[in-house]
Structure 1
């Protein structure tokens, strides 16, 4: 029987209760409730003894003893040598020790924490004692946090690279710092709106956002600048757009909308814009149709930065092409995008 340490009766107020008397069954209930598996290791014979919870944790039928080699067969191959070395070194470890490793439980991988007391402290009959804990949940949470941190770092680096490139090119394509600041801010804002939508989608629809949602969000600011709301209509197929494609598509739509605001249908309050899509084999064909604006003509000067940016984005990130039809009724843009690229 384990008993708590009692202070002297003379030190106790009359109303102070005595400490709880711990019975062996109480300790067993506490150990079971905490998911703790007990083990004992004979340092001379190398035999392990575990309680029923220990054998259940390792996915083995209960027996009186088990050899270290038999246990090692269940340890993940990548951790096996490290665990052997760790257990061999426990007698030289000063104080408490803990080592985490993976075990194979059928097709399942579990993380186990082995804890004990080193430097022969507490050896009884040449046997060391310790516990095994199932720490799979904690390890998966840690791996998830590391994955999230790595993904965030990757995205931030990509955005900074894009921002640096846009800054450098925009500075060469504008006549004043005011123009540069305005154009750069607009392009970065378009990217920001696109990346706000990046999220997982169900049922294999893609890894970021829906194509219709992305286009609607990017074009929403221009819809409020006309004589009536609803002059911009988006009717495209339901499919997912990946993070990489969202960046290129956002820049492309921003440039087309900006040019339309300056020279095309969106420059007039009653002008309209229809964006629709069609599927052709492995491509998604997006049609940008402007109506009700001023008469447009094909530019006769050298292609500007915005047009170059669009062509590079469409070819490099979307694996497609872009064509312009400068009809008298209004500009028609045909944007062809590789379906696999669009979803990646």
Structure 2
């Protein structure tokens, strides 16, 4: 069947369409080289990319070489002729040229035609090479920094695939490079730590939360050493994770120092406990010859025992006497008031906000609570069967307030006419060791004591 339709108007031949495509691509020049006649036919873009001022498009290979950096001339000519002769399957060569006094990187690529000529294009790849050079320089700086610090550094892809370790990692582990890529890193952990490390790492990968864990890592000696593993993700502008960067820090020496320090601290606590016992005995010794001094000696002995209890709570003399978890105000108060509470009834109830406590603050609070409890037994809420004491604490970022409230005891007529030794001691301890205010309210229903201290003093 004949097609009588006229050809479409405005149709271009293949050469025109190729030129339009190359123009749209930007700085791309075309050429044909005939080695037999030494004819080099390049379009205007081809020659302008080489910095040629003339618009002449037909030249010789020597004309091109004259526009190329001296060190690249012979190599460029050799490659062009080799492709024309068929000894090279394709043309692909990079070289430099000077355009307006500025060095440019060019890429010549193409192939051999059936008639032996070489046809191809030239591309300006200066920007690409500048980016690659900047990237190489950045990578070199990163490697220099990563290998200069005494820490193991690693990175992963967004899914957690480990693909980089610095030199320190291989020096520490002694494994061949690349053997811990991917998931191979987990096999370097102590068997008892592997599942825990995996679980924590999977959680970070799923949530993007920072990775932080302590585990034992196999050293090149074959032993396991404690390290801290940390990692954080890097996100793109859309919030997607694009990379994880992490470190491993050897803390074996620190762990051993902590163990040694703990051993020394326990030994010291044991000796201090013995000192408390000796002092307590010495206080009671004169009462054999002076029975009239026994009440005073007993009160001093009770204070020493309160201090011993506080010290043993914060600095236990043995693992058996240690309280699980951190030492806190609530834990100390519960231990101090335990002798006043029966199995079926609590006479002193402790509640409220809790904070960790140090040795100095613990000994101060122990003296204060002992004095308040002793007076409550003698004169206050604990002097009757129905009386109780509430010890409530409230904490803010910078203050810690402790309130001792007695109810159900004898009706209070007013403040006492004089202060005893214990009361004066408590006020002095509060002011000097805790930098706190100590106030009393003698309500008809019972005594209320408020201790207001800087929160930072609790850690002392």
TM-score (norm 2): 0.39
Q: CA deviation at 1:335?
A: 1.0
Contact 1:211 1:236 in 2 (8 A): no
Q: CA deviation at 1:184?
A: 2.8
Instruction: Tell whether 2:212 aligns with 1:212.
Output: no
Q: CA deviation at 1:220?
A: 1.9
Deviations 1:63-103 (A, max 9, x none): xxxxxxxxxxxxxxxxxxxxxxxxxxxxxxxxxxxxxxxxx
Paired residue for 1:322?
A: 438
2:415 to 291, 295, 298: 298
List gaps (5 residues or longer) in structure 2.
1-168, 177-218, 227-251, 317-324
Contact 1:323 1:334 in 2 (8 A): yes
Deviations 1:4-57 (A, max 9, x none): xxxxxxxxxxxxxxxxxxxxxxxxxxxxxxxxxxxxxxxxxxxxxxxxxxx965
SS of 2:314's partner is coil
Deviations 1:121-140 (A, max 9, x none): xxxxxxxxxxx997978866
Q: Distance in 1 between matches of 2:380 and 2:175?
A: 77
Q: Distance in 1 between matches of 2:282 and 2:296?
A: 10
TM-score (norm 1): 0.50
Q: Distance in 1 between matches of 2:351 and 2:336?
A: 14
Contact 1:170 1:183 in 2 (8 A): no
Contact 1:170 1:180 in 2 (8 A): no
Paired residue for 1:224?
A: 342
CA gap of 1:254–1:149, structure 2 versus 1, over 3 A, is same
State the Cα RMSD in Å. Answer: 4.4
SS of 1:315's partner is helix
Greater gyration radius: 2
Paired residue for 2:295?
A: 179
Q: Distance in 1 between matches of 2:441 and 2:396?
A: 20
Contact 2:276 2:308 in 1 (8 A): no
Alignment of structure 1 residues 123-142 onto 2, 5 Å: none
Q: Distance in 2 between matches of 1:60 and 1:216?
A: 52
Instruction: Tell whether 2:265 aligns with 1:151.
Output: yes
Q: CA deviation at 1:305?
A: 1.9
SS of 2:440's partner is strand
CA gap of 1:327–1:140, structure 2 versus 1, over 3 A, is closer
Q: CA deviation at 1:290?
A: 0.7
Q: Whose RCO is larger (CA < 8 A, sep 6+)?
A: 1
Q: CA deviation at 1:147?
A: 1.5
Paired residue for 1:273?
A: 389
Runs in 1 of length 4+ with deviation above 3 angstroms? 55-62, 132-142, 152-171, 174-177
Deviations 1:177-198 (A, max 9, x none): 4224422332222223323432
List gaps (5 residues or longer) in structure 1.
1-54, 63-111, 113-131, 201-206
CA gap of 1:271–1:169, structure 2 versus 1, over 3 A, is same
Instruction: Tell whether 2:357 aligns with 1:241.
Output: yes
Q: CA deviation at 1:264?
A: 0.4
Contact 2:400 2:454 in 1 (8 A): yes
SS of 1:148's partner is helix
Q: CA deviation at 1:159?
A: 6.7
